[in-house]
Structure 1
């Protein structure tokens, strides 16, 4: 049973030692100063576009970075580069992800069946007549999810779905927990959970009171599901509403935007379209650009972006699900380049790709409906930024470059384990604007903060 568990915090001495071990060194770009953060209550009116003075509250956000082969996770203030705090979680994180409201970091510990949560300390509340910003010290939350093999996390603007694969060796079935930032804050145990009867390497997308999640036949020879079902939340559980007839063999990868939910299949992309309380399924089949064993295995979406992005190996596809169209994107990857990081950036105006050769590719997104849109590609190459001159073959075993995208401005962040640095890239100017030397080898990272709303693009 999923439940919130109270964890024992480190002693003050242990935390001070951990903080000292992870304190970053200053360099010519950024002066790193360890300090005790001061909670700030920003008591003034806000408008929906966030076009206002934040009254001293950090607009740049914060980064959560885990250390390689370690259970230590640090939180950095991006405004001045300072280390705010370091926390010891139960085990070495396998992944970091942001909660729906981007206040919390989900610290996934897959092999030990655990997800812990770090409060980044920056958040916003709706006070009816204005949006109210808060800034406080980071903290390790007492809220914990415990179920077998947490693997895929997906979020919309208000909810996060954590898919637990289950375990064939122990005959532990899969499960999906759907949580909000409020659940984490209040240490709730009343959030809805979908309990399967078998294990699967699945995917789920939250849609308000609904959940669109995968289905696997118990007699299947693979752990990958091949169907999708609609579930409806009732208190602390989900009831199955329907299983869509359209199949999705070898299902892997999912994403959503304001109107559709999509899943990657060996033969194309399964699209679930929502109109109010009505959900319908359709299929976009692979185009002639697919050869051999190519298939969409990763999907990326954003609420206000009309296109989803699909990856088939190192090939990128722009998918307009509502029009049933899929087009290959020329992202101008170098020879042997593999895509290891990606995301919509700069409030949806751009899309960034991090490759394993140490380059960041910046694409302009033209997918919004306006005059002339039909004459230009949805994604257009803008620039490529070289992030390192180091010999890529010296990358430590089990490490890779990692990407975090700001949701408040035009910055993205990349960690380089070769020299243990953190890079800040301005994607408007396509240049590295800061390099921070860390005294530990970085592993995973995620951006937290108060997100700026994507432009409405009314043309």
Structure 2
């Protein structure tokens, strides 16, 4: 009788383990889910495209139009986008509907309806934003304050720390370790703050027309009218130095936008008819000419740069090899003074919008070919690509 009971118990236990294995142990392969957030330059509206189904799944009214690429960005984790409404002094945090449920050894993907999670009045004329680690910083040109968010709290609460800098300016900023670097185009100076908001020092180097920043490792760089300002985090402080433009630089060429290429230890900035690359470890800079005037650019996989040119072509630039691809025609040529076409880049895919034609183009980066065109209408001026990995049941 004891043997029979033991055999029955073990049989039930084995059956339970088999059922559990069937439910959780043999889950499907992970897949990448993507949604594209699109903002319009003329109408106060933001909408979300589901890229698997190829259709719009949500549309929202927002406080004011988002009229340039830099005012919409995906946040770390791939689930939220941030829209900056400069003209109405608000920020919108948009939940893209890419839900994840943690099961320990994997995450289940739950596709949900997107929504505006929060609309916040943080200060006058919010413009430049920066994300490093778990911090999001927003500079307000209208009064010089900085709103500092802890991204670990997204969706739980929307509180932020307000840091005054003392004056209005067209500001550029970035967290660097446990410090916050803040500068302005008008002041031409860069200041160092603690994350609690205490001013530590003003760096001695002048940076006229300070604009654009990137961070790679312990280094941050800022664009100046006469070169670059390089800041290195050292212990609890920083050290800085000025890097002049390379000899023979074209008249009027300057860096006003920077992107990081952490996989190759470089930064890339616009520079006249081409790009300028910086190796922060050594301070080495070198230019690379492009066949057409660059309008906007983004990093690709942290090692190359994708550039949309005035000819409507998408170019792939490899800084280590000094190679510029022939260019893929994706949108109509953009006239001088035309709206800047936005570009969003993900793993193996990129999206380019034509604000004049109301079109978004999908590019397969493995084949480097245009795959789909979405006739969205309006004037799509900013894009944010949301991506997550999960198992869809």
| Matching residue of 1:62 | 35
| Matching residue of 1:165 | 141
| Matching residue of 1:428 | 366
Q: How does 1:36-435 map to 2 (within 5 A)?
A: 53-54=29-30, 59-94=32-67, 95-122=71-98, 132=107, 134-135=109-110, 136-166=112-142, 173-189=143-159, 191-214=160-183, 224-234=186-196, 238-330=197-289, 332-334=290-292, 337=293, 339-345=294-300, 347-366=301-320, 377=321, 379-388=322-331, 390=332, 392=334, 399-406=339-346, 409-435=347-373
Post-superposition Cα deviations, 1:315-348, rounded to whole Å, max 9, x if no partner, equal 3111101111000113x323xx3x2221111x22
Following the alignment from structure 1 to structure 2, what is the Cα–Cα distance between the partners of residues 144 and 178?
Answer: 13
Deviation at 1:143, TM superposition (A): 4.5
RMSD across aligned positions (CA): 2.7
**Runs ≥4 residues deviating over 4 A:** 123-127, 390-393
Tell me, what secondary structure is at the counterpart of 1:290? coil
Tell me, what secondary structure is at the counterpart of 2:118? coil
Following the alignment from structure 1 to structure 2, what is the Cα–Cα distance between the partners of residues 416 and 329?
Answer: 26
Q: Which has the larger displacement, 316-325 or 301-310?
A: 301-310
Which has the larger strand fraction?
A: 2
Following the alignment from structure 2 to structure 1, what is the Cα–Cα distance between the partners of residues 338 and 41?
Answer: 9
Deviation at 1:435, TM superposition (A): 1.6
Structure 2 contact 122–147 (Cα < 8 Å) conserved: no
Following the alignment from structure 2 to structure 1, what is the Cα–Cα distance between the partners of residues 252 and 56?
Answer: 45
Following the alignment from structure 2 to structure 1, what is the Cα–Cα distance between the partners of residues 281 and 242?
Answer: 11
Structure 1 gaps, min length 5: 1-42, 46-51, 167-172, 217-222, 367-376, 453-459
Structure 2 contact 80–95 (Cα < 8 Å) conserved: yes
Structure 2 gaps, min length 5: 1-22
Tell me, what secondary structure is at the counterpart of 1:141? strand
Following the alignment from structure 2 to structure 1, what is the Cα–Cα distance between the partners of residues 351 and 239?
Answer: 38
Following the alignment from structure 1 to structure 2, what is the Cα–Cα distance between the partners of residues 427 and 198?
Answer: 44
Tell me, what secondary structure is at the counterpart of 2:298? strand
Change (3 A) 1:113 1:381: same
Following the alignment from structure 1 to structure 2, what is the Cα–Cα distance between the partners of residues 441 and 60?
Answer: 25
Across the two proteins, how many residue pairs are aligned to each other?
Answer: 362
Post-superposition Cα deviations, 1:62-107, rounded to whole Å, max 9, x if no partner, equal 1011234111211011122121111111222233122233322211
Structure 2 contact 271–287 (Cα < 8 Å) conserved: no
TM-score w.r.t. length of structure 1: 0.72
Post-superposition Cα deviations, 1:16-74, rounded to whole Å, max 9, x if no partner, equal xxxxxxxxxxxxxxxxxxxxxxxxxxx979xxxxxx922xx6x1411011234111211
Structure 1 contact 258–304 (Cα < 8 Å) conserved: no
Tell me, what secondary structure is at the counterpart of 2:134? coil
